[in-house]
Chain A
Amino acid sequence: NAGVTQTPKFQVLKTGQSMTLQCAQDMNHNSMYWYRQDPGMGLRLIYYSASEGTTDKGEVPNGYNVSRLNKREFSLRLESAAPSQTSVYFCASSPGTSGRKGFNEQFFGPGTRLTVL
């Protein structure tokens, strides 16, 4: 049982390049999330997926797209990377579904450290 896994662990991009961050969970969770962590800012929600086939914007969605490929996988895409997207990206999952806003704990992956030059 690996929990939440993320690839890659590290990535360096040039401005304007694109890439996709991969996330997978093996806990049969319904909900999945993407956060970014910046110094002095805590974690901020980029996008989330309450269940397979649905995605919604979080606090800071601009410049990102997501795909909930199936129940296990939730990817984050940067179409044209900018230096402001230099950050550590965390994927998380939780058992519950949205709508009634469950109180479920979220389980986090180890993170992807992205640098955009």
Chain B
Amino acid sequence: GNSVTQMEGPVTLSEEAFLTINCTYTATGYPSLFWYVQYPGEGLQLLLKATKADDKGSNKGFEATYRKETTSFHLEKGSVQVSDSAVYFCALNSPYSGGGADGLTFGKGTHLIIQP
């Protein structure tokens, strides 16, 4: 079946530091890949996505590149801000999801804390 593995948190950084959150996946077929962000007390919001190999998704200074050869979709940001503190989820949607489910398969989430 499909699975997503992302680094465990919490990840604590200082403001303006470089951020990388690793994400690797296992899927049949050619999945689409997503990063969602969840701010405290809120639902999930789509941060960025990529639908095919070598695509780069970007939004709000965050970037992630779909690497089929390494089955990875690492999230990066050059200079983080306190307002980036949140939980980040890597997810995939595969056209061949086991059992017919059409929902997203999520990683467990990475709690990011940015200190001033």
Contact = CB atoms under 8 A, between A and B. Distances in A.
Interface size class of A (residues with CB under 8 A): 20 to 34
Nearest to A97: B102
Interface stretch (A14-22, A66-74, A102-110): A102-110
B94 interface: yes
A108 B95 contact: no
Contact of B51 (A50, A57, A103, A107): A103
Interface in A70-117: 90, 92, 98, 100-111
Interface residues of B, number: 27
A83 to B, nearest CB: 22
A108 B45 contact: yes
A59 B97 CA distance: 11
A105 B102 contact: no
B104 interface: yes
A103 B89 contact: no
Interface of A: 4, 31, 33, 35, 40-45, 48, 50, 56-59, 90, 92, 98, 100-111
30 contacts: A33-B103, A33-B104, A41-B108, A42-B4, A42-B106, A42-B107, A43-B89, A44-B106, A45-B103, A48-B102, A50-B102, A56-B100, A56-B101, A56-B102, A57-B99, A57-B101, A59-B101, A90-B43, A90-B44, A92-B44, A101-B93, A101-B95, A101-B102, A103-B93, A104-B93, A105-B34, A106-B104, A108-B36, A109-B43, A111-B43
Please give me the 4 A-B residue pairs with the lowest Cβ-Cβ distance, nearest first.
A101-B95, A45-B103, A103-B32, A108-B43
